[in-house]
Structure 1
Amino acid sequence: MADPAAPEEFTDISEAVGENWEAETTPYERVREVISRVYTPLSADTVAGDARTSPKTARKHLNALADEGFVATDTGESGGVYYRRSPESLVVEQAADILANVSTDELRGRVSEMHERISDFQTEYGVESPEELVVDRTNRALSKASSDHEDLDADVIREWQTTRRNLAFANAALSIANAERFVDEESRSPDGSVPVR
């Protein structure tokens, strides 16, 4: 006896999802989403394939996104244009995410803690940055005079770099919060009302 409730066959679930995405979004939205998830430069043809649109349409939208500051362009070895997410848009997005989830008072406390942690690294290892620590340890390892060199701890390097990156994002978030506060204050008249323009 055949099962009357057997599911219909799917030839390719990825294709079905892609078709739904294409039906529910515009080419601009798909191009923006594709480029927002990549960190290496891509050609317009590659973006077009991933965004389910033509290379000409992808190039048009990538150029518009570049004009908006969301995308940066690079020239490849063959002279072709490659597109990548701009560092500025990544910083602003990360800072906005931080501000949406952390109060500015809490963020100031975290910034202070990260400054202290970086200062601890600098004091403990006698260098200013994790890159200098790698050079220092490599030089010590290669030195014939130093037979008992310290092994380089990859976890320390990673933690230092991560703390430094997080500090940069936190500082960007605080800067944006301060700028927004000043813009908001300037948009109000002395009596506290919002002027009509």
Structure 2
Amino acid sequence: MTDSDRRWDGDVNEAVVEEWVAETTPFERVKEVLLSTTTLQYAGEIAERARVSEPSARKHLTTLTDAGLAETESTGRGTRFKRSRETLALQRIRDIHSELSRAELVSGIEDLKSRIRSYQEEYDATGPDDLALELEPGDDWTVVSEWRALETDLDVAQAALSLYDFDPDAAGRGGSATDDSSEGAFGEDSDGLSA
């Protein structure tokens, strides 16, 4: 029997974790775990998932909190951590910006605005909160959630579009790559597609 004929009896999950530990630093593992943490957790819980000691996790979590990547909550038992909402929003904006061309973003924004206008006309409401005030307990509330999701998607798409004009090295122009103050990163209007 050759080595290639023998079956491996190990745990594939543990093998992947061992490889992850071998190829990353403790800081990288704590950061990766934090960025996937959506509910508040103590440093010990994050340390266990990151395969680091609790003091090491606490030190790295403090650094990540100072950098704005984590939200915290102090309790009688210590501090709990989770990824910050801003981190998630910025990641979504970055992902969309890298995946879609300017033309695709413009088209998507136009579609989102059209869908929002349809809700406004169909329900004779200016926004999902206005609609929620009109609905009764037995009514279908899914449209309120869908409308809110459309508005969030529109905000993210507009922010991603604004990155096409953003030039952080454009000194004296507010970070815009052009002299037109109506364009650029998070400006008032980007190609007339603001909310």
- Checking the alignment, whether the CA contact within 8 Å between 1:31 and 1:51 is kept in structure 2 is yes
* 1:26 maps onto 2:13 in alignment: no
**Long gaps (5+) in structure 1:** 142-150, 188-197
Q: How many residues align?
A: 171
Q: CA separation in 2, counterparts of 1:152 and 1:56?
A: 49
CA offset at residue 179 of structure 1?
2.6
Alpha-carbon displacement from aligned partner over 1:128-180 (angstroms, at most 9, x marks no partner): 333443342226x5xxxxxxxxx4152x3343222112111112212333333
Q: Deviations 1:38-85 (Å, cap 9, x if unpaired)?
A: 211111111001000111101111111111111122223x36211111
The equivalent of 1:157 in structure 2 is 144
| Within-5 A mapping of 1:4-19 | 5-10=5-10, 12-19=11-18
Check whether the contact 2:43–2:58 (CA below 8 A) recurs between aligned residues: yes
In 2 relative to 1, CA 186–103 (structure 1 residues): closer, same or farther, beyond 3 Å? Answer: farther
1:13-162 to structure 2, matched below 5 A, reads 13-76=12-75, 78=76, 80-138=78-136, 141=138, 151-152=139-140, 154=142, 156-162=143-149
Q: Which has the larger radius of gyration?
A: 1
**8 Å Cα contact 2:97/2:160 also seen in 1:** yes
Are 1:72 and 1:84, in contact at CA under 8 Å, matched by a contact in 2?
yes
Q: 1:87 Cα shift?
A: 1.5
Superposition TM-score, scaled by structure 1 size: 0.76
Q: Which has the higher helix share?
A: 1
CA RMSD of aligned residues (A): 2.5
2:154 corresponds to: 167
- Tell me how far apart the structure 1 counterparts of residues 94 and 8 of structure 2 sit (CA, whole Å): 44
**Counterpart residue type for residue 106 of structure 2:** R
**Counterpart secondary structure, 2:71:** strand
Amino acid of the residue matched to residue 6 of structure 1? R
| Deviations 1:6-58 (CA, angstroms, capped at 9, x unpaired) | 31322x32222211111111111111111111211111111001000111101
Percent of aligned positions with the same letter in both sequences?
A: 35
Instruction: Provide the TM-score with structure 2 as the length reference.
Output: 0.76
- Distance between the aligned counterparts of 2:42 and 2:130, measured in 1? 35
Higher relative contact order (Cα pairs below 8 Å, separated by 6+ residues): 1
- Which sections of structure 2, spanning at least 5 residues, go unmatched? 173-195
Measure, in 2, the Cα distance between the counterparts of 1:178 and 1:114.
21
Q: Residues 35 and 136 from structure 1, CA distance in 2 versus in 1: closer, same or farther, beyond 3 angstroms?
A: same
Please tell me the residue identity of whatever aligns with 1:70: L
